[in-house]
Structure 1
Amino acid sequence: MKVDLIIAHGYVITMEGKGVGMIADGAVAVRGNTIVAVGRSDEILSNCQADQLINATNKLVMPGLIDAHIHTGISIYRGMAQDMSHWMQKGLWPFKKNSEEDDAAAGSLVNIIEGIKAGTTTFCDYDSSMNRLVQNYSKVGARARVCEMINQLPDDISSIPVGELYPFDPAIGERKLQANIRLIEQWHGKENGRITCLFGPQGPDMLELELLLEVKALAEKYDTLIHMHVAQGDREIAQMEKRYQKRSIPFLDELNYLDRRLMAVHLTEATKTETQLVAMRGASMICCPGSIGIIDGLVPPVLDFIEAGGKAALGSDQAPGNNCNNMFNEMKFAAILNKVKRADPRVFPAWQALRLATIEAAQAIGLDHEIGSFRPGKKADILIINLLEANMTPIITDPIRNLVPNLVYSARGNEVETVLIDGQLIMEERKLLTVDEQLAIKKAQEAANEISRRSKNDIIAAGSDVYHMMEEGYL
């Protein structure tokens, strides 16, 4: 069989079956944008003839990682909203108020670059100005599942006292809804199918009931999913109880929102019963352990959700409070925090963390027919990882294989040498081939400098804990 590329003699993790599907001396054959064969190197090399052969000796070959929830448009505020109470009101909104679409686009490009260099090939991006941000995915060559973040909040929301009921502006909600529809009509299925679109209500507390119901009807009309924060914090629950006298999950259940179309993000404040209800109704859960650990000091109930039969995935969330959009970081956080939460080192083993960033993530976001594992017919989203790094040494395969534990607990992302997305070489020997990384960083820094200058008075007025720490000499 004639193919374009064979990657051979590597440790191949297929993510097929109930675990990681390890092939000790494995190979993957690619034609166009599709995997056509996977198996032992001797079998693939004897049955396939390739235009290009990559020798992956002492390297790990695996499916690209999936970041199931990320806001690339606010990465321009990286590190501005951690170590504080009310991170959104005090840390994020004062900067967002003083930002333009061009600023968001500049930060987004760097954020995508960061992700790819750490092995992320699919981004579920959920942000404002997505019709602009999606162009970065087209330029870079990444796979993206995108939506416009729909809310009815005024631009000066940062001036509303913490705890006060949000004012809604229907005109803002309509504008953002139309932007989401335009995104779907212009971008869904574009770039050889790499870019697909969802609907993105920001949260049940941030838009009126009528708009929530309209989004639900539109998701059914366009036959797509809904990406939404659900029970993401005590702030949300307080808003819902004031406005509707109900908590978020019972409220959404009454609206028939908890179904297979819903990607419910965080569930931080969900009770065990509420968590089980979301799983039972068929919605998926996106868990962002690093972000929620830093901005809320909590561990999302992902184990309860999985034990209730739910489909779950990991996401990195946002750089203002998480600072790091790296799925190796999220896998490690997920494993460690859940072991601590249950006081049991056996829970959330490394293989499970890896599945929540690959095949089970693909199931949770509705793309498991295309990505998440190596199987003939799936898209060629492939990582080649160097195992001859100090933090990945030694390689042991008998009597215990240490590759997956080291991948989850030791890898930092810089071990990723080569990235293919949709069969195209995007990064080789850690050099991005589709965009100028240094130019992107330069433009993002210039944008951040301007935002910081414009935002200073609003940050002081918001009472940012980080600003006070700096003034007191701690930072």
Structure 2
Amino acid sequence: MKVDLIITNAFVMTMEGQGVGLIEDGAVAIKGNLIQAVASTQEILANYSTEEQMDAKNKLIMPGLIDAHIHTGIGILRGVAQDMHNWMQVGLWPFQKHVTLEDNITGSMMNIIEGIKAGTTTFCDYDSNMNKLVTNYVKVGARARVAELINEIPNDIGDIPVGELYPFHPEIGQRKLQNNLELLEKWHGAENGRITAMLGPHGPDMMSLELLQEIKELAVKYDTKLHMHVAQGDREIDQIEKRYGKRSIAFLDEIGYLNERLLAVHLTEATKEEAEQVAKSGAAMINCSGSIGIIDGIVPPILEFLEAGGTAALGSDQAPGNNCNNMFNEMKFVSILNKVKTRNPATFPAHLALRLATIESAKAVGLDHEVGSLRAGKKADLVFVDLEEPSMSPVITQPVRNIVPNLVYSAKGSEVESVMVDGKFIMKDRKLLTVDEKTVIRNTQIAANQISEKVQAEAKKLKSPLLTRMENGEL
């Protein structure tokens, strides 16, 4: 049978089965945007022919990584809110209130490029102005599962003292909800199915009960998932307890949110029992170890969630909190932090972290029929990792293999040599093929300078510890 491309002589990590499904001398046959076959090089060459054959000796071919939770629209504010309490009000808000729509778009493209260069092919982007941000995915050629951030809170929420109830404005909620519905109607299934959409309620504390119920009904109408922060911090728990007299998980259970439609992001403040309840409900969990570790100094209860039979995924969250949007970083963090938390080096083995960034993530977000593993009929979303990079060397295959531990504990993302999405290379030999990376970085810097000038004009009001540390010569 003739195909468009055969990739040979590679280590092929399929992520099929219970582990990583590694084929040591493997090959992948691709026709159009689909994987035609995955097997040994000998078997593929015996059964398939092509006019284009790629020798991938000393390369690892694996499924593209999935970032199950990212806010690319605030990527332009990387590094402004670290090492402090109340990071949103004290660190992020003084900058974010000066960010324009164009700044959002510019920073978003930078974040997407960062992810692609580190092997991310699917981005579950969850932000405001998503009808505009989604065009970045069209340009760059990545896969995206997008949602509009729906809430009823005003733009000056950062000025409200910590502990006061958020004011709700129904007109804000309806405008953002309509933006999300437009996203679903215009973009779901666009670009040959590369772009899909979900509903994105911001959190149970960010909107009225009436709007939460309306969104739940719309999720049934559109047969889609609900991408939502859940128990994401003590601020949320405080707001819910003051409004409804109970914690977030109990409240969401009461109003019918705990089911297979829910992507529960973070669960930072969830107890063991609450995490188990969410897992048993069929809802998925998205864990962002780097972000929550830096912002809150907490290790979310993902182990308890998994042990209760839940489906979980990894996400990078946002650059102002996590600093980087790199799934290799998230795999390492989730494994190491949970080893430390349990005081057990056998906790969270490397293959588990790798599954949570590929096939388990695909299951969580509802895309496992298309991506997350390499098998015939799935989309050709592939990442090529250079095994001759120092961080991946040497390659040991007997009596044990070291590729998986090295991917999780050693790789930085720069080992990714090429990236294919939907059967097309969007990065080859470390060069992006669809956008001009240097132009994007220059534009991002110009926009960041303009935002910084506006914040500088209000420096006397700035309470950021980063400013104090800079004045003390620490930064």
Report the TM-score range of the alignment, normalised by the length of the smaller protein.
over 0.9
**Match for residue 353 of structure 1?**
353
**Match for residue 241 of structure 1?**
241
**1:389 positional shift:** 0.9
Distance 2:249 2:462 in 1: 30
5 Å-filtered alignment, 1:72-83, equals 72-83=72-83
Matched to 1:442, the amino acid is: R
Which structure 1 residue ranges, 4+ long, deviate > 6 Å from structure 2? none
SS in 1 for 2:165: coil
**Match for residue 12 of structure 1?**
12
Matched to 1:360, the amino acid is: E
**Match for residue 224 of structure 1?**
224
TM-score for both structures, normalised by structure 1: 0.99
Distance 1:202 1:408 in 2: 31
**Count of aligned pairs:** 475
5 Å-filtered alignment, 1:308-387, equals 308-387=308-387
Matched to 1:172, the amino acid is: I
Matched to 1:220, the amino acid is: V
**Match for residue 39 of structure 2?**
39
**1:89 positional shift:** 1.1
- Which deviations, in whole Å up to 9, do the C-alpha atoms of 1:246-265 show, x marking residues without a partner? 11100000011011000000
5 Å-filtered alignment, 1:247-286, equals 247-286=247-286
**1:457 positional shift:** 5.1
Distance 2:91 2:28 in 1: 46
Distance 2:156 2:371 in 1: 40
**1:467 positional shift:** 1.8
**Match for residue 129 of structure 2?**
129
Matched to 1:364, the amino acid is: A
Distance 1:126 1:457 in 2: 31
Is the CA contact (8 Å cut-off) linking 1:95 and 1:459 kept in structure 2? Answer: no
**Match for residue 62 of structure 1?**
62
Is the CA contact (8 Å cut-off) linking 1:205 and 1:236 kept in structure 2? Answer: yes
Distance 2:243 2:459 in 1: 28
**Match for residue 92 of structure 1?**
92
**1:30 positional shift:** 0.4
**Match for residue 394 of structure 1?**
394
Distance 2:126 2:161 in 1: 26
- Which deviations, in whole Å up to 9, do the C-alpha atoms of 1:42-94 show, x marking residues without a partner? 00011111121111111100000000000000010000111000011111222
Distance 1:467 1:79 in 2: 12
Distance 2:84 2:458 in 1: 16
**1:326 positional shift:** 0.3
**1:390 positional shift:** 1.1
Name whichever of 196-205 and 89-98 sits farther off: 89-98
SS in 1 for 2:167: coil
**Match for residue 160 of structure 2?**
160
**1:473 positional shift:** 2.0
Measured at CA, do residues 460 and 175 of structure 1 come closer, stay the same or move farther in structure 2, by a change above 3 Å? farther
Name whichever of 150-159 and 193-202 sits farther off: 150-159
- Which deviations, in whole Å up to 9, do the C-alpha atoms of 1:91-127 show, x marking residues without a partner? 1222221111100000000100000000000000000
SS in 2 for 1:200: coil
**1:462 positional shift:** 5.0
Distance 2:92 2:175 in 1: 22
Distance 1:469 1:200 in 2: 37
Distance 1:460 1:213 in 2: 43
- Which deviations, in whole Å up to 9, do the C-alpha atoms of 1:265-301 show, x marking residues without a partner? 0000000110000001000000000010011001011
SS in 2 for 1:150: coil
**Match for residue 201 of structure 2?**
201
1:173 aligns with 2:173: yes
Is the CA contact (8 Å cut-off) linking 1:85 and 1:465 kept in structure 2? Answer: no
**1:460 positional shift:** 4.8
**1:461 positional shift:** 2.6
Distance 2:96 2:361 in 1: 29
Distance 2:379 2:231 in 1: 34
Distance 1:79 1:179 in 2: 29
TM-score for both structures, normalised by structure 2: 0.99
Is the CA contact (8 Å cut-off) linking 1:395 and 1:403 kept in structure 2? Answer: yes
- Which deviations, in whole Å up to 9, do the C-alpha atoms of 1:130-170 show, x marking residues without a partner? 01000000000000000100111111112111111111111
SS in 2 for 1:113: helix
SS in 1 for 2:413: coil
Name whichever of 463-472 and 335-344 sits farther off: 463-472
Name whichever of 460-469 and 373-382 sits farther off: 460-469
SS in 2 for 1:446: helix
Unaligned stretches of 5+ in structure 2? none
Distance 1:249 1:93 in 2: 27
**Match for residue 49 of structure 2?**
49
- Which deviations, in whole Å up to 9, do the C-alpha atoms of 1:226-257 show, x marking residues without a partner? 00000001111111111111111000000110
Name whichever of 100-109 and 155-164 sits farther off: 155-164
**Match for residue 212 of structure 2?**
212
1:182 aligns with 2:182: yes
